[in-house]
Amino acid sequence: MSQEHVYDVIVIGGGQSALAVAYYLKRTRLRYVLLDKETAAGGAWQHVWDSLTLFSPAQWSSLPGVIMNGGSDKYPTRNETLQYLRDYESRYQFPVKRPVEVLEVRKENNLFILSTSQGTYISKAVISATGNYSHPIIPDIPDKSLFKGTVIHSADYRGPAAFAGKRVVVAGEGNSGAQILAEVSKVANVLWTTRNAPSFLPDHIDGRYLFDAATALYKARQEGKNYQPRPLGHIVKVPLVREAIERDVYHALPSFDYFYEDGIGWNGGRQEAVDAVIFCTGFLPALQHLAPLEIFQPDGKIHTHETKAINIAGLWLVGYGSWTGFASATLIGVGRTAKKTVDDVVHFLEGTSSWSDVNFITN
Ligand SMILES: Cc1cc2nc3c(=O)[nH]c(=O)nc-3n(C[C@H](O)[C@H](O)[C@H](O)COP(=O)(O)OP(=O)(O)OC[C@H]3O[C@@H](n4cnc5c(N)ncnc54)[C@H](O)[C@@H]3O)c2cc1C
């Protein structure tokens, strides 16, 4: 393979995290490309349900360079967020190739070899930004195969219409569960099951406050201070949730223990006949393409310092959550993580043979 075909860095993914990284890569002279398995721009936002509302106002939901429209009182919808990401990508004309799914990443002779759905790509460094959405967690509950009803994860939920007139279980006490329950309860008879007691944040607290609180915690830890903020709750009262609280629909039951043909049951005797269960039980990082590198920890994550993989040189991970950079799974937080990552990549490539090509653009 001739040198022209070796990228300095390949970014895997094309969602908000990959775009934030691309924003800073564009300011270098690095040869880079983004490989995204989607057919269109917008990452996971093109798959989430229509009524999903951000829990941070627009002004606190922006990638570097472009503030999202709407100011400090508007909680952007899924469509507005998707449009923002599409406009962002086309404004900066990032080199994104779609659809290209990265199937396997290997390292040979200091180069990364990426086997993809569209042939082989080679680079000196890799930034993985594949998110969590394509790896939903469904708990392994006994006798699921006996259940005659529908079982889905929130990743496959599109809206309440499919559940009209049914008896539905929403499982999970996070923001997804609370928001889905709010709208399904308008058309269906809903039970809410939660592993931990759900707790709603006070009215005035939203994503912007949580981000500020997390920033304070991060800074305190950096400075070696022992600062422990008071836990306040975790469900943000976006307007949809607030309206559902007024309808008095949030009554949590403990997680159920098993399925039976017509419904769900708890050890101790209680059973409920239901037609559908929607698991709002979170996601794992989508890292399967990195399996050949054999650097996974038992929890399925990769040992990192900030975004840099510890056990292999030249690999960074962006956007998967706090283990890959503070607040990196949010629109507002990923910019800071992306900037630091690109700085690191530039310094890493300084040590490679073609450093003459690797300079920041100064004008
Ligand atoms: C209910 C809910 C509410 C949320 N609210 C907010 C909020 O208020 N504010 C906020 O900032 N965030 C919010 N988020 C989080 C946000 O949606 C995600 O954190 C965000 O989508 C992550 O962006 P990403 O770019 O890391 O991943 P994604 O958006 O998932 O993008 C990853 C991209 O990589 C692609 N990909 C995956 N695997 C491969 C592969 N092997 N090869 C090539 N491409 C691949 C995917 O197809 C996708 O295009 C919310 C999420 C949920 C579920």
Q: Render pLDDT for 228-266 as a digit per residue (tens, 0 to 9).
A: 666 666 888 888 899 999 999 999 999 999 999 999 999
Please tell me the least confidently modeled range out of 38-47, 233-242, 277-286: 233-242
How far, in Å, CA of 100 to CA of 90, rounded? 18
Domain edges within the chain: 3-134+283-357, 144-200+235-279
Residue with the smallest CA separation from ligand 1 atom 11 is 330
Fold of 144-200+235-279: FAD/NAD(P)-binding domain (3.50.50)
The pLDDT tens digits of the residues spanning 164-215 come to 999 999 999 999 999 999 999 999 999 999 998 888 888 877 777 777 777 7
0.85 cut: is pTM over it?
A: yes
Check pocket membership of 62 for ligand 1, CB cut-off 6 A.
no
What is the atom index within ligand 1 of the atom nearest the CA of 330? 11
- Is 144-200+235-279 the same fold as 3-134+283-357? yes
Which of 134, 290, 336 should be mutated for ligand 1, with most atoms under 8 A from CB?
Answer: 134
Instruction: Calculate helix-pair angle for 331-350, 207-222, nearest 10 degrees.
Output: 40
Query: Is the beta carbon of 38 within 6 A of some atom in ligand 1?
Result: yes
Pocket test for ligand 1, best of 37, 49, 234 (most atoms within 8 A of CB): 37
Give me the CATH topology for the region 3-134+283-357: FAD/NAD(P)-binding domain (3.50.50)
CA 116 to chain CA centroid, nearest Å: 22
Instruction: Specify the pLDDT at position 232.
Output: 62
CA of 16 to the centre of ligand 1 (A): 7
Q: What is the mean pLDDT of the chain?
A: 90
